[in-house]
Amino acid sequence: MNEINDVRCMEHALELAKRASDAGEVPVGAVVVLDGQVIGEGWNRPISSHDPTAHAEIMALRQAADKVGNYRLVGAELYVTIEPCTMCAGAIVHARIARVVFGATEPKAGAVVSNGCVFDQTWVNHRPEYQGGVLAKECSEQISDFFRSRRAQKKRLKVTNGQIPDGTNSE
């Protein structure tokens, strides 16, 4: 795809990530595109679905595979707001995704460029192309804002429950 389409697809992924955030989930959104058409979309749902595999990428891949009637999504592109983790990178390889575009890197759990570099390993039987940094600032801000809000909420709860924010009791 060209740069304009990459931005449009990432904007769509950001909208999906907001759905996750609104539901109290870590805001990650993903879109699968084949021949210029969205065939799958997803957002993080592991908490609400009680499913540790319900990452945005997995949800989007499942929907896309169901739509085409095949687990192999040859020629498809995956857009995701945050660098995929090891589990999602493995699913991307198995789905034969042609290209992965992500927004922000994920230094702790990212497995494309931050840790492990799964797609570059010699033992991987399919190597998707990948590109990071599309709307990286917006993607990074969205997840940072979410965790900043979570920390502030925890701090307010501690104060409400009679604890001083440094963890000591007010009594």
Clarify whether 11 is annotated catalytic. no
How far apart (Å, rounded) are the C-alpha atoms in residues 169 and 162? 6
Q: 29: how many CB neighbours lie within 10 A of its CB?
A: 31
State the catalytic residue, choosing from 25, 41, 57, 77: 57
Q: Is 139 annotated as a binding residue?
A: no
Contact 21, 153 (CB under 8 A): no
55 marked among binding-site residues: yes
The token pair that represents 140 in the structure block: 């990074």
85 is in an annotated binding site: yes
Three-class secondary structure assignment of 54-114: CCHHHHHHHHHHHHHCCCCCCCCEEEEEECCCHHHHHHHHHHCCCEEEEEECCCCCCCCCC
Q: Is 139 left (phi over 0), alpha (psi -120 to 50) or beta?
A: alpha
Q: Which residues are catalytically annotated?
A: 57
Residue ranges of the binding site for Zn(2+) = 55, 85, 88
Residue ranges of the binding site = 55, 85, 88
